[in-house]
Structure 1
Amino acid sequence: MMDYFAIIVILIVSTLSGSIGALALKKGMNDLSTLSLKLVLMNGWIYLGSFLYLLSAGTNILLLKFLDYSIAFPMTSLTYVWTVFISYFIFKEKLTVRKILAVLLIIAGVFIISQ
Structure 2
Amino acid sequence: MNWFVGFILLLMTTLTGSVGALYLKKAMNQITDLSAANVLRSGTAYLGLFFYVLSAVTNIMLLTFFEYSVVFPMTSLSYVWTAMISVFVFREHLTRNKLIAIMLIIIGVFVLSQ
Q: TM-score, normalised by structure 1?
A: 0.96
Counterpart code for 1:86: I
* Residue 67 (structure 1) aligned with residue 66 (structure 2): yes
Aligned residues: 114
**In structure 2, how many angstroms separate the alpha carbons of the residues matched to 1:22 and 1:40?**
15
Structure 1 residue ranges (4+ consecutive) displaced by more than 4 angstroms after TM superposition: none
| Matched-pair identity in % | 55
Cα drift, residue 33 of structure 1: 1.6
* Residue 110 (structure 1) aligned with residue 109 (structure 2): yes
Query: Structure 1, residues 16-70: CA drift from partner, whole Å, max 9, x if none?
Result: 0001101100110111120122211111110000000000001011111111011
Counterpart code for 2:21: A
Give 2:91's aligned residue: 92
Unpaired runs of 5+ residues, structure 2, are none
**In structure 2, how many angstroms separate the alpha carbons of the residues matched to 1:45 and 1:94?**
24
Counterpart code for 1:25: L
**In structure 1, how many angstroms separate the alpha carbons of the residues matched to 2:83 and 2:69?**
24
Q: Secondary structure at the match of 2:109?
A: helix
Give 2:20's aligned residue: 21
**In structure 2, how many angstroms separate the alpha carbons of the residues matched to 1:54 and 1:91?**
23
Counterpart code for 2:32: S
Q: Secondary structure at the match of 2:60?
A: helix
Q: Secondary structure at the match of 1:64?
A: helix
Q: TM-score, normalised by structure 2?
A: 0.97
**In structure 2, how many angstroms separate the alpha carbons of the residues matched to 1:86 and 1:30?**
16
**In structure 2, how many angstroms separate the alpha carbons of the residues matched to 1:106 and 1:37?**
35
Counterpart code for 2:69: S
